[in-house]
A and B are shown apart, each in its own frame.
Chain A
C-alpha cells in the first residue's frame, strides 16, 4: 500500500488529453513539492515535472503539473503512442522522513 494514491490505469485516444491524480496527506503533498516521472520497466525513469509544475529542459509543454492541498495532478495533452508508460508521483514525507512514491499509473493510448 503506497503512501500516495494513484489510479492504477488511465487511457485515452491519440491526440487527446489525460490527467493522472496523486492523492496524499499534509505530511507529504500538503507541505512538500511534488515531482512526476515516466518509466518503462527495465529502463531509467525520466523526470517530467518538479516543484509541482516545473518542467526540466527538454520536456515538452504537453506535460504539465499542478497541486492543490494534498493532491497533485499530471496532465498530458496531444497524446502519442510513445507516451504509453507507467507514471509515478513522488514527494518527501515529513512524518516518515522518507521519499515516497505513488503506486504508479499505467497510461494506455488507444
Chain B
C-alpha cells in the first residue's frame, strides 16, 4: 500500500524557517516524481514545487521561488521542503503527492502537515 506521511509543520514567526519531510512507503520511491501542494485556510489547492526521481529537474511556483527548496533522499525514501523567509501567506496545510507519471496527475497524497506563520 502506498503511503505518504508528512511531518515538520508547526508555528513559526515571519521571516523564519521550517523544513517539512514526507516519508514514503509501498512503492519504488526513486522511480517517481513528487510534488508539494498546499491549501491556505479558506482557499483552494495551490501547487508549490515538483522534483523528478533523480532530482535532476525541479520546478517552483513563483510565489515560493527563491525562498523554498525541494529535495529528496532516495536512500531514505523521503521528500523534503526547506522553507525560508516565511511569510504570513505561507500559512497552509502542506501535502506531498506522488506524480503518477502520466499527464502531471497525482495519484497518491499524504494527509498534510499544518504550517502557521504568525508573530
Contacts and interface: CB of A to CB of B under 8 A. Distances in A.
Q: Do A and B interact with each other, yes or no? A: yes
Contacts of B44: 2, 86, 88, 101-104
| Chain B residues touching A, range | 20 to 34
Interface in B25-55: 35, 37, 39, 44-47, 50
B93 to A, nearest CB: 7
Given A97-B59, A100-B47, A104-B45, A90 B111 contact: no
Interface stretch (B14-22, B69-77, B80-88, B99-107): B99-107
A44 B59 contact: no
B105 A42 contact: no
A50 B35 contact: no
Nearest to B109: A44
Interface of B is mostly: strand
A97 B102 CA distance: 16
B109 A45 contact: yes
A18 interface: no
A51 B112 contact: no
Contacts of A102: 44
Nearest to A6: B44
A17 interface: no
A63 interface: no
A104 B111 CA distance: 19
Contacts of B103: 32-35, 50-52, 91-92
Interface string B89-119: 0000101010010111111111110000000
A47 interface: yes
Contacts of A52: 103
Interface of A: 2, 32-35, 37, 39, 41-47, 50-52, 56, 86, 88, 90-92, 96-104
